[in-house]
A = this chain, B = another copy of it.
């Protein structure tokens, strides 16, 4: 996919082959993830952790972390342990969300969910293990970055997962189940916390490791919050318009669970429009970075045009 010029960039600069970029980064992330977690005794827990961690997926979160580290003048190597940690945390959240006492999902990324394969007890522990390992991995494996930046990245990462982020979003989400009449503020709280906080951490942590200024971190945060919300609106839309095979997970679940979604509040067309507006604003935040921001711009566009 070669994106063409929109407004902020002269056309000769805004030639960016996102497919090649994503394929390259995904391959590097996969290799790093594969190497991050060797199997040792007790094998069962490492296998359970690897089962979900290495189950594919777009690897969007680690790729965002690598991209902002480079954008802010750092290298892929500096951010790779944090990129792996971001995927470990994301995976942990999926394993726990899928549990019978939570969303009770049988399929994820086209495969049986972790607890379906390893049992509920091991699935809970695999999530705990991945969450703890994420922090160990950043703290013990990051090279070429000053310790104060590593500490700052860990603080951001941890805040994004906890009650002030992902966990808080999931609590309100569970509370809203069977209440199709919740307002758009509650729905937005859910998504800015359940999905948005970690996406924001991806973008911020990469830039923190490279030593970005506070002004740049704020711009990148706003970019991330916008694409995070756009990402979720599109997810809601796809849940309605796509089949299980295309999604690799149970389709139409939101409708079945009588969950409020953006399409259920705004309708499909308005939801699509809002997602595009968010992406437009996200890209505007990147203007000061010039061509260094091309990957992030292309990723923002990719989010609104993706079909799964």
Contact = CB atoms under 8 A, between A and B. Distances in A.
Nearest to A135: B158
A139 B158 contact: yes
Interface in A203-257: none
A269 interface: no
Contact of A162 (B132, B147, B148): B132
A165 B128 CA distance: 11
A22 interface: no
A171 B167 CA distance: 24
Contact of A139 (B41, B99, B120, B154): B154
A255 B175 CA distance: 39
A94 interface: no
B121 A168 contact: no
Nearest to A150: B151
A161 interface: yes
Interface centre among A96, A155, A157, A175 (most CB of B within 10 A): A155
A185 to B, nearest CB: 11
Interface in A63-115: 92, 96, 99, 101-102
A127 interface: yes
Interface in A114-152: 119-122, 124-125, 127-129, 131-136, 139-140, 146-148, 150-152
Interface in A252-288: none
B133 A131 contact: no
A46 B49 CA distance: 27
Interface in A172-220: 172, 174-175
Contacts of A172: 42
A132 B158 contact: yes
B45 A168 contact: yes
A159 interface: yes
A42 B173 CA distance: 11
A304 interface: no
A151 B46 CA distance: 24
22 contacts: A42-B171, A42-B175, A44-B171, A44-B175, A45-B167, A45-B171, A46-B163, A99-B124, A101-B121, A121-B174, A122-B174, A125-B170, A127-B128, A129-B167, A129-B168, A131-B132, A132-B158, A134-B158, A135-B154, A135-B158, A140-B155, A154-B154
